[in-house]
Structure formats: structure tokens, C-alpha cells
Amino acid sequence: MKIFLAQQNYHIGNFEANAIKIIKAIEQAKKEEADLVLFSELCICGYPPRDFLEFEDFINECYKTIDIIKEHADTIGVLIGSPARNSLKAGKDLFNAAYLLYEKEIKAEIHKTLLPTYDVFDENRYFEPAFEWKCIEFKGKKLAVTICEDIWNLGDNPLYRVTPMEILIKEQPDVMLNLSASPYNYAADVVRRSIMKAHTLKYGLPMLYCNTVGSQTEVVFDGGSLIYDINGNLVKEMKYFQEDYAIFDLEILSEQKKQTSQITNSADLAEAVTINKDTGINKDDVFLSSEKESTWEGKYYYSASEVGRDMDTLKYLTDDKNIQEIHDALVLGIRDYFTKMGFTMATLGASGGIDSAVVQALAVEALGKENVHVLLMPSEYSSSHSVSDAEKLCLNLGNRYNIIPIKDVYQGFLSTLKPIFKDLPFSVAEENIQSRVRGNLLMAVANKFGYILLNTSNKSELATGYGTLYGDMAGGLSVLGDLYKMQVYALARYINIKQEIIPRNILEKAPSAELRPNQKDSDSLPDYEILDRLLFQYIELRQGPKEIIAQGFDPTLVKRVLRLVNMNEYKRNQFCPIIRVSSKAFGVGRRLPIVAKYLS
């Protein structure tokens, strides 16, 4: 049996475009004489559809689209993902389903069992878990079909009570097929590979895992579909951040090899496991097996929150491979946000600082220089090199820009507020007025010409509240909101790897908001090398103050920083969508109460 994998970029709710794309892949699979074509989770409607699932019309469109596609599933089997109605009154009204289409009919319907509710996921809100499990018989083969999370219930502390493959394996299937919509973070590829390998070695079956690709607002799907043979060998890792297609012969994937067929202990298994040493994973701890007990024990895989735990934080965060992936994810995130929303032009404020420089460079790469407009808005506190550095970057990138000094507008605000402010000393109020003036000018230009404002705040700033609501926190999309400051510097160096695009002075000068004379970020915040390490422990790894202090951080600093993080939840709650690249991004994946006392 030949199986064709279609790793595609879908548009949520765009049923016509999704159907055209799926049908095109089916026709390509036919030309390559495939017997079966495998798509990704909820490919019919796009993932995640969220509350669209509550609309009956949305579900009707899903079924209409399946009817259109099944006409093309005449001589070839097609495995697609779509919502399915629950015929029972008890429970949720929908299943997250996989359909086997063949001979222009629906031959089988498989329901997802494990419905994640952590991080960006909220599937239990909409779907009922499967209550029966069976393999699909197709062209003389038994297919163990699972959907995304169904294969993630591993380890010594599983999240769910049921593991679908434990039931399906009793039917002696020939292959495992998984339809997935697994989001990107810079630990995801390591985690996925360990899970796929664990399954092939545990169940003695080849696995074909088809992941979606593309960005859906803040969530980026990176593709990277995986094919493992029966011996636990990685046969193919499909392209990242791009659509990709490939065909595989099940008979070849199922060939047993003597050198890996008799793995009976953890030492032998560890020898067969290959994992990138740079991830900080100890390969001897990845899998443990006990053939005598007919059970698998210990740690099957590392979760995203564990990868990098035992490494130097900054080394991990700024690892060359991670930064390259982050670059590609952000470019895709910007491009898909504009394309899928029907936007063309972006604007942003260029301060001559590292954050706006990186956003500007990424925007030009994603949208083209002709579609990026920049405003330079110097104040009386701006240094001369801030303007010249920003101008030089615009010239290097070739995008349009305008210079609008804000001194007169700013002084107008101060004059208007004089009767209320009286002679009170200069404070953060006056600083923030400058930021809000810039935000107003940017939004005025955006409204006038139909641009979308890209926000330039980074994760270190958002975490500590070092930003101005309705000022530099304005925007339609946050590009760097999931990158710590040191990652922004690493990303700038990556952008400059072939030639100097971002002027060297921007990388070398001390970061400053330039809202008062001789201001530096370090006046208000710890050095970013220290701050980012501390924030990563608290936000990504969810370490408490005692654990963080035990790592050598100053107790007073820890108390201060954690208090800043928790007190500023109200600011982040009003922030724009953030392109997610970490395992714990601000936004839908991190839900904390605003009115709370914990550590504040």
C-alpha cells in the first residue's frame, strides 16, 4: 500500500479554498498511484475553529464540503479531518473526527479520544470524547487511525485515563496513522520525534504523522510531518513552515531489521535512539521498556516545559537552531495574518532601537518592502543616532518612511494638562504621553491608508509591564511578544548573518525608551541577561520563588520581578494577539486572573 501525505496550510472557515486545496492534493496522489492520502486534523474547516463550532451553519458547511471532496475519492482512499455530529443526546453535540472516504462514500468515521484543554487548546469545550475504538480495514490492511493528542498520553504521569493505541493494538493493525494540528514552539520538534519513536518501538508498527502548516492568528503550525518505520527509524521529516507532499510504501516501512528487532532493555533502546544533544535531553532517560512485564515504564518523552530545563537558559533561548526556526515562524505568522485577513500594508514606529528594527526587517521579508511603511517620531529626548540609525535601516531595507517630530504635539498635551498637573514634578505620566502621542500618530496613519500596525514590544517588557497602554502597546499584531530581549538580539544577528541589514549601532547601543534625558532600560529593569533567565524559570518552567532563589538568583530581585509579572496582567489582557513561538506565550495559552494577590 502506498500512502500519500498532504501537509497543507488551511484557512479557518474558508471551506471553498480548503476544498480546492484538498482536491488538488488528491489528484496529485492519484498521479503518483497512491492507495491512500492522509490529511491533517480538522482540515475541512481549519484549526482551531473555536466558537465557530457553536454555529449550526458552520457544521453544515463542513458536511457540504465533505460531500464535494468525496466525489474525488473514487479510486483512492482519503483520510480527512472534520467535526462530526454526535447522534446521542447525552454529551457534547460534536466529535473531532477523521473520515475515510473511498468509492465516493464515507467508509469509516473515527472520533478523537483525548481532548486537550491546556495551553492554547480548549477542545473539551466543544467536543465529546470517543466512546468506541476500532481499526479501519482498507485494501487488506488494518489502519490504526488517531487524531493528534490521541498519541500524546505518554510518560509516568499521563494526563488522560485512556490511551487509544492500547485498545487499537489488540486488533493487530498494520500501521499507525495520525491526523494532527500540533502548534509550533521551539521545543516542539524534539518532543514530537520522541513521541513518534516511542510509539513505533512500543507497538512495533510504522507511523505516518501528518501535521498542518500555517499561521492562524497567534498560533503557528510548523508542519514537520514525520514518518517512522517499524524499527523506530526516522524515514522522513517533511518541510517546516511550508506546504509539502510525499509518498511512502507501507511494505518498505514495515520491513523488520534484525539489529533493532530485539530491544529488551533501556540500555539497548537508548543505543537505538538518536536525539539532538543540543536540546539538553539525556537519551538514556527517553524510553524504558520491560519485555518480561509486557509494559513500558519510565519517561517516554520530554514535554516542551522540560526541554531546556537543565541547560543554561540563555544558551537554550538563543540557540542558533531555535533562532532560525523562530525567524521562519514569525515570517510565516506575519504573512499568513495579512494574507488570510485580506490585508496588504503594514506600518510600525521605528525608534532606532533593536525591537522595532527586527520587526521592520521581518515585515519586509514577509510582505515585501513596497508593503511596509515606517514612521520615525523623534522627541526632544531622542538621540541623534536614533533617527540616523532608523533611517539607515529603512534605506537598507528599501521600505517607505516618514519623519514626524512629536515635540509640538507633546508640548500641546502638556499645555492642555497644565491646569491639572500644575507644577508637579516630571514623572511617568509625562513619559507615557510621548508614547501615546506616537501611538495616536501611528493609528491615524493606519486608519487613513488602511494599514495594519505591527507592535514591537518584546516578552521581557510585556512580562514586567514595561510598556504604555494605548501607546507603544498599540497594534493589530505583536511580532516579538513571545521573544525575550536576548532572543531579539540573537534574531537580529541571524538577520544580519549574510549582510549587515540592521545597522551595527542598533545592536551595540544600550536599550532605551528615550522618554526622559539619558534614560536606559536598566534604570527600571535588571540587566536583560539576568531578567530573561529569571522570567523563563517563572513563565515557561512555572518555577516558584523558592525554586528560583535556590538557583542563585537574588531573593529581593526574585520577589520584585515576580510581583511585576503578576501585577501587570491587566496590561497584557488588553494587548493584541502575539505570534506564539514558545511553550508558554502570553495570551490564550496563559490564563491568569487579573484581580489576584498571589506573589503580588
- What residues are labeled active site? 41, 112, 148
Query: Coil, strand, or helix at residue 288?
Result: strand
Retrieve residue 523's grid coordinates: 534604570
Q: Is residue 224 annotated as involved in ligand binding?
A: no
DSSP code of 170? G
Buried b (16+ CB within 10 A) or exposed e, 233-246: bebebbebbebbbb
Q: Is residue 352 annotated as involved in ligand binding?
A: yes
Q: Is residue 349 annotated as involved in ligand binding?
A: yes
**Rounded to the nearest 5 degrees, what angle is found at the Cα of 409, between the Cα atoms of 573 and 423?**
85
Q: Is residue 450 annotated as involved in ligand binding?
A: no
CA of 407: how far to CAs of 283, 438, 468, 551, in Å?
Answer: 59, 11, 18, 46
Please count the other Cβ atoms lying within 10 Å of the Cβ belonging to residue 420. Answer: 7
Instruction: Check the CA dihedral 507-305-595-216 and report its sign.
Output: positive
Q: Is residue 98 annotated as involved in ligand binding?
A: no
Are 405 and 379 spatial neighbours (Cβ–Cβ below 8 Å)? yes
Query: Where does 185-319 have alpha helices with state H?
Result: 188-203, 250-253, 258-261, 266-272, 313-317
Q: Is residue 303 annotated as involved in ligand binding?
A: no
Q: Is residue 589 annotated as involved in ligand binding?
A: no
Are 454 and 375 spatial neighbours (Cβ–Cβ below 8 Å)? no
Q: Is residue 432 annotated as involved in ligand binding?
A: yes
Q: Is residue 370 annotated as involved in ligand binding?
A: no
Q: Is residue 350 annotated as involved in ligand binding?
A: yes
Retrieve residue 391's grid coordinates: 533611517
Are 565 and 590 spatial neighbours (Cβ–Cβ below 8 Å)? no
Query: Where does 520-554 have alpha helices with state H?
Result: 528-539, 545-550
Peptide bond preceding 48 in cis form (omega within 30 of 0): yes
Q: Is residue 81 annotated as involved in ligand binding?
A: no
Residue 14 CB burial class (10 angstroms; 0-12, 13-18, ≥19): middle
Residue 326 CB burial class (10 angstroms; 0-12, 13-18, ≥19): buried
Q: Is residue 278 annotated as involved in ligand binding?
A: no
Find, among 380, 376, 400, 378, the residue nearest to 390 by Cα: 376
Q: Is residue 355 annotated as involved in ligand binding?
A: yes
Torsion of CA 246, 250, 254, 257, to 10 degrees: -50
Q: Is residue 27 annotated as involved in ligand binding?
A: no
Are 33 and 237 spatial neighbours (Cβ–Cβ below 8 Å)? no
The binding site for deamido-NAD(+) consists of 432, 461, 571
The binding site for L-glutamine consists of 118, 182
The binding site consists of 118, 182, 349-356, 432, 456, 461, 571
The binding site for ATP consists of 349-356, 456
